[in-house]
Chain A
Amino acid sequence: MCAGVVIAPLALVLFYLIKAGASSLDPHFFTQLPKPVGEAGGGMANAVVGSLTLLGLGGLVGIPIGVLGGVYLSEFGTRRMKWAVRFAADILSGTPSIVWGIVVYALVVLPMAGYSAYAGGLALGFMMIPIIIRTTEEMLALVPNSYREAAFALGIPHWRIVLNITLKMAGRGVITGILLAAARVAGETAPLLFTAFGNSFWCRRLSEPIAALPLQIYVYAISPYDDWHRQAWAGALVLIMFALALNIGVRVMTRGNAPRLAR
Chain B
Amino acid sequence: MKVKIAEKILVGILGVALATGCGPQGKGEEKGSEQVLINGAGATFPNPIYSKWAAEYRQVDPSVSINYQANGSGEGQKDLQDRIVDFGATDGPMSDTNLAKAPGKILHIPTVAGADALTYNLPGSPALQLDGAAIAGIFLGKITKWNDAGIAAQNPGIALPAMDIVVVHRSDGSGTTYIFVDYLSSVSREWETKVGRDVSVKWPVGQGAKGNEGVTEEVKQIPGSIGYVELVYALQQKLPYASVKNAAGHYVAPTVESVAAALATAKIPDDFRFSMVNPPGEKAYPISGATWLLVYQKQANALKGRKLVEFLKWAETAGQTMAGPLSYAPLPDDLAKRVLNEIDTISY
Do A and B bind?
Answer: yes
* A222 pairs with B211, CB closer than 8 A: yes
Residue of A nearest to B300 (CB): A113
**A185–B52 Cα gap in the complex (Å)?**
33
**A55–B55 Cα gap in the complex (Å)?**
29
A97 at interface, CB cutoff 8 A: no
How near does chain B come to A116, taking the closest CB pair, in angstroms? 10
A206 at interface, CB cutoff 8 A: yes
* A178 pairs with B10, CB closer than 8 A: yes
A91 at interface, CB cutoff 8 A: no
B33 at interface, CB cutoff 8 A: no
**A84–B307 Cα gap in the complex (Å)?**
53
Which interface class (under 10, 10 to 19, 20 to 34, 35 or more) fits B?
Answer: 35 or more
**A178–B18 Cα gap in the complex (Å)?**
17
Residue of B nearest to A179 (CB): B10
- Residue from B37, B70, B210, B232 with most neighbouring chain A CB atoms (10 Å): B37
Q: Which of B176-184, B190-198, B212-220, B275-283 contacts A (4 or more CB under 8 A)?
A: B212-220
Give which listed residue, B18, B52, B84, B220, contacts A53 with CB less than 8 A.
B18
Given A52-B13, A113-B83 in contact, is the A206-B21 Cβ separation under 8 Å?
Answer: yes
How many positions in chain A have a CB within 8 Å of any CB in the partner chain? 45
Q: Which residues of B contact A253 (CB under 8 A)?
A: 2, 6
Q: Which residues of B contact A168 (CB under 8 A)?
A: 3
* A202 pairs with B25, CB closer than 8 A: yes
**A118–B23 Cα gap in the complex (Å)?**
15
* A224 pairs with B3, CB closer than 8 A: no
Quick one: which of B70-120 are within 8 Å of A by CB? 70, 82-85
* A37 pairs with B13, CB closer than 8 A: no
A191 at interface, CB cutoff 8 A: no
**A205–B22 Cα gap in the complex (Å)?**
6
| Contact pattern, B 6-34, Cβ under 8 Å of A = 1, otherwise 0 | 11001001111110111011100000000
A140 at interface, CB cutoff 8 A: no
Residue of B nearest to A222 (CB): B214
A130 at interface, CB cutoff 8 A: no
* B25 pairs with A197, CB closer than 8 A: no
Q: Which residues of A contact B67 (CB under 8 A)?
A: 199-201, 209
* B84 pairs with A171, CB closer than 8 A: no
Q: List 5 A-B pairs, minimum CB-CB distance, nearest first.
A: A56-B17, A53-B21, A223-B213, A171-B3, A224-B216
List residues of chain A with CB under 8 Å of any chain B CB: 33, 35-38, 49, 52-53, 55-57, 59-60, 109-110, 113-115, 117, 168, 171-172, 175, 178-179, 197-206, 208-210, 222-225, 249, 253, 262
Q: A171-B6, A197-B39 are in contact. List 4 more A-B contacts (CB 8 A).
A: A38-B48, A202-B26, A204-B35, A210-B21
